[in-house]
Structure 1
Amino acid sequence: MHWIALRWPPEAAAAKEVPLPSPEALGWWALQFTPRVAWIDGEALLLEVSACERLWGGRLALMREIARLNPVPDVPVQRAQGATSLVALARLRMFARGEQPPQELPSGLPLETLSAAREHLAVLSHLGCRSWGDVEKLPRGGLVRRFGKALRAALDVAYGLAPDSHDWLQLPDVFEQKLELPALAEGAPQLMWSANRLLAALQIWLRARQRGVLALELQWTLDLKRLDGVALPPHQQVTVRTAEPTQDMAHLRRLLSERLALTALAAPASWLRLRSIETAPWAGASTSFLPEDNRKGDKLHELVERLSARLGPQQVLRAVARADHRPECRQAWQPALHKLPAEAGPPEAADAIYPPWLLREPLLLDMDGERPCYQGPLRKLIGPQRVETGWWGEGQPAVRDYYIAQSPGAGLVWIYRERPSSCFTSDTPRWYLQGLYA
């Protein structure tokens, strides 16, 4: 067996003011290299790679790949190897202290690098034991009676006399993490600072699951139960939704910031929780060599999501096609973040001439003799398209001839003329503006 021990120095992260992902999230990140990942002593992440290192091109190539894919680029990951997990951990501890490992392993390792021996260091030192080998030479029975079974069992694992088993990390089906805030948060900036750590963990989980998030919830626990005699809820939360699955934490961070800026904290917050509400399979991002396909700036759906978070969902609308034979009923407006109805499929071939923008109420046009006018006299280009519909329902049926016309000031427009019929009291045709083309 072959083990790799990893450690992200917390002092380096603190010096650079970089929040480290949770230990659980770092374990999820390591699952891309091997399914056998475990935390030991809450200090180091252990990877057993003997069965998979060949797939990475050998041990050296694997170590380079671990460094290249470091989830915290600003904090270099410390790495060490060993034939057992305890040897790898001991070498990592020596590396962190700037010491060179001994030539003889594991016997030459300093005794303080063995976790099971730390509580007995003073007594073992009086017995003249300075290394793992010194303790291993002591009589087994006397060692167990004097120091307990844990020390002897650890030495057996270190020397390969007992199996090196651990509780392997498992990737959860749903992301949910909670953390205690370093200080009571009284506003959105303090909440957002701590939420960055949870977002980093979310990104690791999404990549490991090969999914993109569509909706997530950020919840905080209020530190007070009553304020000015008024009972407070135990929690507050905001929900963020996206139109498309995403793994872009910068975009989610902007959305959360917008939502938090519009939310007033009922009381200082002490805990923060982030969970995924809805996710979808992640197809990845396609790339292109064409310059027009690599334009800089936000994507359209990201801009819509950010404006919806800032102004409110009901203030950012989009046109949605509806299954209806009447032209004035073929389009509805709904919040841009809402999904299309399941029954609304692609338009029929006959609908190709319909404009993308329909007026809610047709506009009666002025006449210049027999020519309708809208920002100037209109010139008919295509038509007529005859429509007779609505006769099966309540109200007056639609009996119309539709045209695509050219306006001097508005460009292409969609107009119609009421055809004379017994439904109308006047035989004089009236012209209406129904829609506009982009």
Structure 2
Amino acid sequence: MRWVCVLFPQLALDAVLRQRPDPDEPLALLTGPAQRRVLQAVNLSARALGLRPGQTMTAAQALSKGFVTAEYDAAEIEYWQQFLAAWAYRFSAQVSVHYPRTLLFEIESSLGLFGSWPQLEARLRTELTDLGFRHRIVAAPNPVAARVLANAYDGLVVPDGAALQQHLGRLPVDRIGLPQNVAIALSRMGLRNLSQVQTLPRASLARRFPADVLKHLDALLGARRLALTFYLPPDRFDVRIELNFDVQSHQALLFPLKRLTADLSAFLCGRDSGVQRFTLHLEHAGLPDSLIKVGLLSAERDAAMLFELARGRLEQVQVAAPVRGFRLSAEDLPAFVPQRQELFDDRPQQSLPWEQLRERLRARLGDEAVHGLGFQADHRPERSWLANGERHPCVANPCVQRPGWLLREPLAVHEGSARILMGPERIESGWWDGDDVRRDYYLIQTRSGQHGWAYRTVGEGGPLWLQGWFA
């Protein structure tokens, strides 16, 4: 088996930075009581100003005033680790969050689907970078070794037990996952790395140290299996972004909206599902949330499409009060069935599939502006089709020639403005429901070359009446 460890060295910091439009802005996370605020973590821009973790807020402000702060929240770390586990679930059914700020997942059985390990590693790195999380990735024969090697390496691949023994043997004793007091005791005994520790008799180690030390060393070398609890994805998605200032324009809400829809897409891909309905919550101070419901005719999970649809609905809403927080929730998560595509797609590069165009039109124009069409068994043209029919295309009838666009009200065709190409075709129907029609229909062509469908009531003179146009 091959296990992958993805270590997130600054998960709390990345979780805050990814919610800000400018990730390069100097930022420090604060912890401690109000009387003595301490810097828990700082980004690279803040380090350039001289800020370091462990400094007091007073000392940091003495060095520079040009940085912003946010609260360090341990619960947020747990939340984002679970979110990343949902993302990793698309690559493996065995995903574990056994270690803090770390993902472990077995990947050997998935390489046949995702390609060779270099291809999969490149994909993991690209997606994590797009999500806004810094990371280190190591692959090893067992999960404990992968986690320990991630402390010292990035991009390392250990193919077998011999290579594992070689890489682990060079690690210092304080980097192999032992408790701090055990690592200090081994160092005082003159043991600097794991290979030197292995030369000691097991009986001697068992007398000097707790039993957990030998268990950890055995698991590290693959002689003992680590019992892991595997992640199961939740049945709903609910993510919130707290805004740094009061927002009153749609434009300022587009960045958090894009981040939320990208997170939703990653979550859906992880659990192999789509979304058909989700809700945007605009949070106000002292007022109920403004709710924007986004509904789709079929399940989707493409990040760009979800963003465009949500953006179209958001721009139709008048922001009633300043927005303090932005939240996206989704509970309707049906199975996602990819659309069948041709091997050679002959669509122009800039064109959209019909399903995406349909959803964008509904988002821009409203649900009532876009309808499906369906046929019903009636010879009368105005009653032969229905709005809000099935979303699948209607099956064409090659035996009859009918226009694709019927007018709301027939228009008189002035004499000399069109010529008859074909006809008449008589339609007599509706005597049983009180709307009897007796018409002779003709295929006509206007002076501009358009083809139309016009009729004249049987037994009456006068002009033809245009009822529809052919495409």
Distance 1:401-1:51 versus aligned 2 partners, 3 A rule: closer
Distance 1:171-1:365 versus aligned 2 partners, 3 A rule: same
Aligned residue for 1:377? 417
2:263 maps to a residue whose letter is: A
Residues 53-80 of structure 1: CA distance to partner in whole angstroms, max 9, x if unpaired?
A: 68878xxx32442224542356785322
Aligned residue for 2:439? 400
Whole-angstrom CA distance in 1 between matches of 2:382 and 2:114 = 61
Whole-angstrom CA distance in 2 between matches of 1:268 and 1:120 = 52
Aligned residue for 1:424? none
Aligned residue for 1:423? none
The structural deviation recorded for 1:400 is 0.9
For the Cα contact (< 8 Å) 1:7–1:77, is it kept in 2?
A: yes
For the Cα contact (< 8 Å) 2:174–2:184, is it kept in 1?
A: no
Aligned residue for 1:360? 408
Out of 5-14 and 89-98, give the one that drifted further: 5-14
Matches within 5 A, 1:33-432: 33-49=91-107, 61-69=116-124, 70-72=126-128, 78-95=136-153, 104=166, 106=168, 108-115=170-177, 117-118=179-180, 131=193, 134=197, 139-140=205-206, 143-144=209-210, 153-160=215-222, 162-172=224-234, 174-181=235-242, 183=244, 186-187=247-248, 188-208=250-270, 210-213=272-275, 215-220=276-281, 222=283, 224=285, 226=286, 232-233=287-288, 235-243=289-297, 245-263=299-317, 264=319, 266=321, 268-270=323-325, 272-275=327-330, 277=332, 279=334, 281-284=336-339, 286=341, 289=344, 292-316=346-370, 321-333=375-387, 340-341=389-390, 346-350=395-399, 352-366=400-414, 373=415, 376-395=416-435, 397-409=436-448, 411-420=450-459, 428=461, 431-432=464-465
Residues 323-381 of structure 1: CA distance to partner in whole angstroms, max 9, x if unpaired?
A: 43322222455xxxxx524899635444x411111112223444xxxxxx3xx433221
Distance 1:96-1:300 versus aligned 2 partners, 3 A rule: closer
CA RMSD of aligned residues (A): 4.2
Distance 1:185-1:216 versus aligned 2 partners, 3 A rule: farther
The structural deviation recorded for 1:303 is 4.1
1:90 maps to a residue whose letter is: V
Q: What is the SS of the residue equivalent to 2:350?
A: coil
Whole-angstrom CA distance in 2 between matches of 1:106 and 1:191 = 48
The structural deviation recorded for 1:299 is 4.2
Whole-angstrom CA distance in 1 between matches of 2:284 and 2:377 = 51
For the Cα contact (< 8 Å) 1:5–1:79, is it kept in 2?
A: yes
Identity %: 24
The structural deviation recorded for 1:404 is 0.9
Distance 1:152-1:414 versus aligned 2 partners, 3 A rule: same
Whole-angstrom CA distance in 1 between matches of 2:168 and 2:350 = 55
1:37 maps to a residue whose letter is: V
Aligned residue for 2:3? 3
The structural deviation recorded for 1:170 is 2.6
Q: How many residues align?
A: 397
Distance 1:265-1:282 versus aligned 2 partners, 3 A rule: farther
Distance 1:105-1:293 versus aligned 2 partners, 3 A rule: closer
Out of 383-392 and 237-246, give the one that drifted further: 237-246
Q: What is the SS of the residue equivalent to 1:94?
A: coil
For the Cα contact (< 8 Å) 1:110–1:130, is it kept in 2?
A: yes
Distance 1:298-1:119 versus aligned 2 partners, 3 A rule: farther
2:439 maps to a residue whose letter is: R
The structural deviation recorded for 1:46 is 1.3
Whole-angstrom CA distance in 2 between matches of 1:258 and 1:105 = 53
The structural deviation recorded for 1:85 is 1.9
Whole-angstrom CA distance in 2 between matches of 1:27 and 1:44 = 9
The structural deviation recorded for 1:93 is 1.2
Distance 1:281-1:55 versus aligned 2 partners, 3 A rule: closer
Whole-angstrom CA distance in 2 between matches of 1:127 and 1:343 = 76
- Residue from 88, 97, 104 that aligns with 1:30: 88
The structural deviation recorded for 1:393 is 0.9
The structural deviation recorded for 1:385 is 1.3
Q: What is the SS of the residue equivalent to 2:150?
A: helix
Is residue 433 from structure 1 mapped to residue 466 from structure 2 by the alignment? yes
Q: What is the SS of the residue equivalent to 2:263?
A: helix
Q: What is the SS of the residue equivalent to 2:432?
A: coil
Aligned residue for 1:370? none
Distance 1:276-1:84 versus aligned 2 partners, 3 A rule: same
For the Cα contact (< 8 Å) 1:3–1:88, is it kept in 2?
A: yes
Q: Which runs of 5+ in 1 are unaligned?
A: 227-231, 334-338, 367-372, 421-426
The structural deviation recorded for 1:311 is 3.5
Distance 1:123-1:220 versus aligned 2 partners, 3 A rule: farther
The structural deviation recorded for 1:26 is 3.7
Residues 152-189 of structure 1: CA distance to partner in whole angstroms, max 9, x if unpaired?
A: 654443244543121112345x4513244363663444
Aligned residue for 1:336? none
For the Cα contact (< 8 Å) 1:5–1:88, is it kept in 2?
A: yes
